[in-house]
A and B are shown apart, each in its own frame.
Chain A
């Protein structure tokens, strides 16, 4: 009502003042907003480019975007005549959690999650990925609450459980008749899952497991969904049978009844306010000798008989643990992919802004220069666009790898997903920061999205696998591959390491522009670094072990090489997917622009300090690389709008500064 009254006052003032014509604002000497659509051209069909980078389920994505845009639950706001949807981060923690749950209930009612747990096959898995990606574009809290419920809780039932678990829990989970969470992390143990301190014993008299938190460091921590809403959880615990610790196992425990009352012998406390992701109710959980039926053990890998005997088809506890944990890979994949979409939101917003925002004239009486016409601004943002395109292709490769998985490919999936998750999430934080700065003060405004995304997504570098630990695993895996290849007559197979079987690539002494843009040279350079670093790493680790150090100690001491090797592997693997995507295209402007982008991605990898440090490039050639990067950025300038429009993110999901930011902030709008 107040708004209506205010409007009436304004209109009355208009009418009561002198003749209308003197009211019109003259456009002299005043900045006006000129939409980039009218001044920039598309050299290629952005629909084709979107199909290339989104790859699958475009209709499903657009339907979900539409569902969110059309509902008041998603906080629509009009700015400059356009509707934007984005959570209200100014709400309290409690309010944000309620809204997140309401949004989930809305999407559930509309059938967005149909078949997510009860259908099988490649189609539904791809549809899930697409749906999940769209949810992440709206809000990380929405994505995370869904992820915990469907992929962690639901995934645990699917992959750690057996038929009777599937029959009992999957449909109820899909329909949200129960709400699940995933209690693995403890106050004292995150990355080292095998070291968790929750203890479970078996009471053969009653046929029950007894789950207990023996000390404060054993309390479950950061358990998403636990503080307010979850009714059930999968608890990870050491299993002691007849005095022997059989290692980590998972048990279903009810933690709340349908009315929201916490179950007996369970204590739950809210983890408290976070720097982001406050729409997720993370909880701390204590189990005080909680009893659950024997059937609640998720027994796909091991079981306990009614009379208390431990049974497992896998003898070796290390292998048993690896088999147990393998299904968690999909969580890592989802996180890797979602980070790429945040980079897209940030880049689309900041590049569109830079296409309409001006600062400083080069000569007197000339109009000020568009931000994106400055080489320095291009240099900041276009390499990030190249990285984002590269990550898109790599993400699609990873999805296909997962969807077409076999028991033999599990190891590859584990390594590639670890590498990509670490790389993508680190890249995303870098991209978000740069885009925030590129938007200047407007980047601080929550509703402009870019700055807010930093706090929301920061957690990605440490959850679902700490990035540094993941990259260490990559380097250890590469070491193991090297050792295995030695046994196979030095033949490398898998993980794209086949280039090791060929002669060592040679970098030409003189790097001309043509050479620098040649995909063969680019691949050679990246393979050379990976090859050399792997050789050095193996040599150094072997030297340590020869001195009597254990494998673990040797790896620890060679951590610098391990880090560089992990990066080398990731860059090369990602680049390969870019090249593969480019080759599928017919000749034309789309392929040309993508080729330029591909070169830019390759050269920013090659610009990395490791190439000079380890001597793969001379100082002069290093300078040639940098010069070429600047040239490529200039060439990409005319394609800036087309490249970000191809991300396929609807206007409503970007920040208002991507559009008419003058009108969005005009007096008549506020």
Chain B
């Protein structure tokens, strides 16, 4: 699918008849993400390079979408997780509905929020990005709109009308496209229990320097107020791979001050190290426990945050020490007339 999308996007960019690209899913999901099981099988069969190949293509597609010279409208009418975010969040317009469910759940799997998440999560308000990336929290359509992950909220019943209107408009102008979608938008109210009402706690805790300090801060909050949500958040963090938590936090923090290309290049290095299992086998253990054997009881190693040194985390960000390995080669964008909103991301 990644290869096919790459082909199509490359072709559409050169085709003057294509004004904008709309992406939508069939069934109850927009896209639930990459087929992680398949990647694991590929690695078992062909070594880590087979997995690296997949991510290289995927991240190239993500970059292409982030720097696309034409607007992309993604209709997120359902589940949008992991790789599904990689092919939608970088586009100019993301339309959420009452059916949308967003998540970047990688830390539970022994991976980390990739597909350029270190770029788009780090730019959410305050330290919401750290919360979403570390806990893999699920967000609904209203929450996606509130924090900026979605640009519009349209009730699913009106989606066909949006499609027709956009096709009729036949325009590449983002102002026009936005105002067309606006016409079908409805006010979306945040549910009473929304995590978006807890931003003060989230900012206090998830702004801390380290994962350990984030957990301590959360534990202090629980003492002050007997709060189910905070306890659940602590539990989620404790069940995630400690290595994943540490590299994810660093990734988001570094990504906050980098352009989208630099983020993807860095994430590619990280994912290669993960697949090589150089410092930890957590990715494979996570896939086994959650996706294959489904016992939901992964045995992480290292099992404690304190056992993971900063120098180990550093290594995930360095080049891979292998003769044949190269940094991610991003597609050249210089010959295209890039719109200002793309230039701002470089």
Interface residues of A (CB under 8 A from B): 11, 14-15, 20-21, 23-24, 27, 32-35, 37-39, 59-60, 62-63, 65-67, 69-71, 80-83, 109-111, 650-652, 659-660, 663, 666, 668
Q: Are B257 and A62 in contact, CB atoms less than 8 angstroms apart? A: yes
**C-alpha gap A659/B257 in the complex (Å):** 15
B225 at the interface (CB under 8 A from A): no
Residues of A within 8 A of B346 (CB): 35, 37-38
8 nearest interchain CB pairs? A81-B344, A650-B257, A663-B340, A38-B334, A66-B256, A82-B344, A20-B171, A11-B179
For chain B residues 307-346, which have a beta carbon within 8 Å of chain A? 310, 332-334, 337-338, 340-341, 343-346
Stretch at the interface among B5-13, B120-128, B151-159, B187-195: B120-128
Q: Which residue of A lies closest to B334 (CB)?
A: A38
Residues of A within 8 A of B254 (CB): 62
B253 at the interface (CB under 8 A from A): yes
Q: Are B256 and A37 in contact, CB atoms less than 8 angstroms apart? A: no
User: A134: shortest Cβ distance to chain B, in Å?
Assistant: 11
18 example contacts (A-B, Cβ-Cβ < 8 A) are as follows A11-B175, A14-B176, A24-B172, A27-B337, A35-B346, A38-B333, A38-B338, A38-B346, A59-B250, A59-B310, A62-B254, A66-B122, A66-B256, A70-B126, A80-B344, A110-B208, A663-B344, A666-B340
Interface size class of B (residues with CB under 8 A): 35 or more
Q: Are B261 and A14 in contact, CB atoms less than 8 angstroms apart? A: no
Residue among B176, B204, B310 with max Cβ neighbours from chain A (10 Å): B176
Q: Which residue of A lies closest to B319 (CB)?
A: A45
Contact with A111, one of B209, B259, B338 (Cβ below 8 angstroms): B209
Contact with A659, one of B334, B338, B344 (Cβ below 8 angstroms): B344
For chain B residues 127-150, which have a beta carbon within 8 Å of chain A? 127
User: B25: shortest Cβ distance to chain A, in Å?
Assistant: 28
Q: A15-B179, A35-B346, A66-B122 are in contact. Are A21 and B170 (CB under 8 A)?
A: yes
Residue among B171, B257, B338 with max Cβ neighbours from chain A (10 Å): B257
Q: Are B179 and A24 in contact, CB atoms less than 8 angstroms apart? A: no
Residues of B within 8 A of A109 (CB): 204
Residues of A within 8 A of B338 (CB): 35, 38
Residues of A within 8 A of B345 (CB): 81
**C-alpha gap A31/B125 in the complex (Å):** 34
Residues of B within 8 A of A659 (CB): 343-344
Q: Are B343 and A20 in contact, CB atoms less than 8 angstroms apart? A: no
Residues of B within 8 A of A71 (CB): 126
Q: Are A110 and B207 in contact, CB atoms less than 8 angstroms apart? A: yes
Q: Are B253 and A62 in contact, CB atoms less than 8 angstroms apart? A: yes
Residues of B within 8 A of A21 (CB): 170-171
Q: Which residue of A lies closest to B173 (CB)?
A: A24
Residues of B within 8 A of A14 (CB): 175-176, 179
User: A301: shortest Cβ distance to chain B, in Å?
Assistant: 37
B169 at the interface (CB under 8 A from A): yes
Q: A20-B173, A23-B176 are in contact. Are A67 and B343 (CB under 8 A)?
A: no
Q: A62-B253, A652-B257 are in contact. Are A81 and B341 (CB under 8 A)?
A: yes
User: A374: shortest Cβ distance to chain B, in Å?
Assistant: 22
Q: Are B253 and A66 in contact, CB atoms less than 8 angstroms apart? A: yes
B213 at the interface (CB under 8 A from A): yes
Q: What 0/1 pattern do residues 193 to 219 of B give for CB contact below 8 A with A?
A: 000000000001001110001000000
Q: Which residue of A lies closest to B340 (CB)?
A: A663
User: B97: shortest Cβ distance to chain A, in Å?
Assistant: 23
Residues of B within 8 A of A67 (CB): 207
Q: Are B343 and A35 in contact, CB atoms less than 8 angstroms apart? A: yes
Q: Which residue of A lies closest to B266 (CB)?
A: A47
User: A473: shortest Cβ distance to chain B, in Å?
Assistant: 39
Q: Which residue of B lies closest to A15 (CB)?
A: B179
Q: Are A37 and B259 in contact, CB atoms less than 8 angstroms apart? A: yes
Residues of B within 8 A of A37 (CB): 259, 261, 346
Q: Which residue of A lies closest to B124 (CB)?
A: A70
**C-alpha gap A659/B341 in the complex (Å):** 12
Residues of A within 8 A of B172 (CB): 24
Residues of B within 8 A of A15 (CB): 176, 179
User: B172: shortest Cβ distance to chain A, in Å?
Assistant: 7
Give 4 new A-B contacts, CB below 8 A, not counting A60-B209, A62-B256, A69-B256: A11-B179, A39-B334, A62-B257, A63-B209
Residues of B within 8 A of A62 (CB): 253-254, 256-257
Residues of A within 8 A of B340 (CB): 33, 80-81, 660, 663, 666
Residues of A within 8 A of B250 (CB): 59
Q: Which residue of B lies closest to A67 (CB)?
A: B207
**C-alpha gap A80/B338 in the complex (Å):** 13
**C-alpha gap A15/B340 in the complex (Å):** 22
**C-alpha gap A38/B175 in the complex (Å):** 25
Residues of B within 8 A of A32 (CB): 337
Q: A59-B250, A660-B344 are in contact. Are A70 and B170 (CB under 8 A)?
A: no
User: A103: shortest Cβ distance to chain B, in Å?
Assistant: 14
**C-alpha gap A38/B310 in the complex (Å):** 33
Residues of B within 8 A of A39 (CB): 334
Q: Are A651 and B257 in contact, CB atoms less than 8 angstroms apart? A: yes
User: B146: shortest Cβ distance to chain A, in Å?
Assistant: 16
Q: Which residue of A lies closest to B67 (CB)?
A: A38
Q: Which residue of B lies closest to A39 (CB)?
A: B334
**C-alpha gap A668/B339 in the complex (Å):** 14
Q: A70-B127, A81-B341, A81-B343 are in contact. Are A20 and B253 (CB under 8 A)?
A: no
Residues of A within 8 A of B341 (CB): 81
